[in-house]
Amino acid sequence: MTMTSTVGTDRDRAVSAVRELLLAVGEDANRLGLLRTPERVADLMLDLFSGLGVDPAAALGAPVALTENEHPGELVGLTGIPFRSVCEHHLLPFDGTVDVYYAPSHHIAGLSRIATLVEVAARRPQLQERLGQQIADALMTVLRPHGVAVRIEATHGCVAHIEPRAAAARAVTVATVGEIPDATWRLAVREASAL
């Protein structure tokens, strides 16, 4: 997915910064194998950070209003949404899946919009804990449901590099806002973990 950021970007400056980093660590930035590396890295970073300046809530679009006769159930969920982000502490990738649940009140969102929300929120220097909260807050703001729960499970490049024996470790975070029926939530989490 390509998104347009409202934050001003400067590709030439990013290319120069990558070149300077190579020089700063003692590498020959003019070496044949590195000649185009600054451009490649700058373009990759601009794509990975394309969510900067984009309001994640805007990804949900206009909510779908429910009539008095409609009742979508106690809980709506979209699970296994893949994502990739960049740890703001080490600028290394972390990726995994996001499960999003909400208890509708008067509005619902298109399911693909929820996946887009995850993508927009992830495309910036980020912390896993903050990512889940941003997704939950955006859903609360736009849909005004009874409650939202966001579960993220991810592997982190920084953990793999700093502690190689923990390279396969998966970090799990859960962000909740509002109220979700306990029995329904327990059932949803049990079903998701069984997959």
- Could you confirm whether 126 is annotated as catalytic? no
Q: What is the C-alpha separation between 31 and 27, in angstroms, rounded?
A: 8
To the query of whether residue 146 is one of the catalytic residues in this protein, the response is: no
- Of these residues, 27, 88, 129, 163, which one is catalytic? 88
Measured torsion, CA atoms of residues 98, 167, 41, 15, in degrees rounded to the nearest 10 = 110
Give catalytic status of residue 90 as yes or no.
yes
Assess whether 133 carries a catalytic annotation. no
Q: Is 128 a catalytic residue?
A: yes
Catalytic hit among 20, 27, 70, 89: 89
Three-state DSSP class for 169? coil
Query: Annotated catalytic residue: which of 126, 128, 133, 134?
Result: 128
CA distance 3 to 8: 13
87 in Cβ contact with 160 (< 8 Å) = no
Options 39, 90, 107, 146, the catalytic residue: 90
Long-range pairs, 161-164, Cβ under 8 A, ≥24: 161/90, 161/92
Which residues form the catalytic set?
87-90, 128, 156, 158
